[in-house]
Structure 1
């Protein structure tokens, strides 16, 4: 009888495992499509996801409303999205993939630039205003909430009055270029921590670093 029950348990266990749904995440890097924007500060969201794809060994494919890559880590499926809708319509792409893949809002992370933080500063938040950022403003409008996870990468504010647009759409200076590889490495570690350890632990570990 014991052997029968043991064989029954071993036979049914894989079936039970198959019924457990894989936890899904959506990581959205904000930026503008086109070679003229590729090296700009405003495109740090794209750049961080590109660094993540190189580190984790996945690639992006052209899909509806963006470039999409899929990463699997320890029973979790992570959809990485670089919207093709341009910055001002970022919310449209986010909502489409969130609804298509049935990903809950708490598992969404938006990666963006922030002029209110010194260059390379990392800050993870669970809510907040758009801070004058057009991409975040559109996401807030589409989601009808300010309570969503966002990862802000500081790009500094070394610009004169009326020169903000030129600054954020400008390319990194030589000093920033030199510091980017280490900051990108830290950024990919932050995203991995968000997926595996959760938002609170990641905030405590990375905010301000």
Structure 2
């Protein structure tokens, strides 16, 4: 079983914000793979796609900084642990990243949370930074006086949003390559282009 964990915040207030770009890509992947609507089951909303059996896409329903709590419950309540689930090989986190401009993405096999509260929560839950992540660019505030929290909880201007969405076909290919070949191979193939 493979797990795509898309980080974001629940609720209409946050749906279109930079922080939820992981959820946007999750929606795109579900559609691309012929998945049904996301259904709420315990700590997440999730779906699968007929084109990718054995892959589940999950959106934690806790707020971003508590994503790890949702993951811990998911792993305890579902079949991931029973089948030898290894987060380092079997999980990819879809997450926003202010260090990348909108329209760019990067795969990483491991690493510190880098100040991202969602990743910090995931790492705390797993007791490890050994899990893949697909970092989706949302850009930095144009002025250092702009509060970073306010920035990621705001909407992108139309041109930025179009740039971010324009990268999704290539990001989807990167996820599919990860599924087939693993994170290191996907990094080598896509990071220079993403």
TM-score w.r.t. the length of structure 2 is 0.89
> In 1, are the aligned partners of 2:138 and 2:164 still within 8 Å (CA)?
no
Alpha-carbon distance in 2 for matches of 1:135, 1:35: 19
Q: Deviations over 1:42-67 (max 9, x none)?
A: 00110000011111110211111110
The structure with the largest helix share of the pair is: 1
Structure 1 match to 2:41: 63
Gaps of 5+ in 2: none
Structure 2 match to 1:156: 139
Structure 2 match to 1:25: 2
Structure 1 match to 2:191: 207
Larger Rg, first or second structure (1 or 2): 1
1:130 paired with 2:108, answer no
TM-superposed deviation, 1:196: 1.3
CA RMSD of aligned residues (A): 1.5
Q: Which runs of 4+ in 1 moved over 4 A?
A: none
Q: Deviations over 1:147-202 (max 9, x none)?
A: 11111011110342242111111101121122233211112111111111221221
Q: Mean Cα displacement is larger for which, 155-164 or 30-39? A: 155-164
Give the counterpart of 2:98 among 115, 122, 125. 115
SS at match of 2:160: helix
Change (3 A) 1:155 1:181: closer
SS at match of 1:77: strand
TM-score w.r.t. the length of structure 1 is 0.83
Alpha-carbon distance in 2 for matches of 1:45, 1:178: 15
Alpha-carbon distance in 2 for matches of 1:148, 1:113: 16
User: For this pair of structures, how many residues does the alignment match?
Assistant: 185
> In 1, are the aligned partners of 2:44 and 2:60 still within 8 Å (CA)?
yes
Gaps of 5+ in 1: 1-23
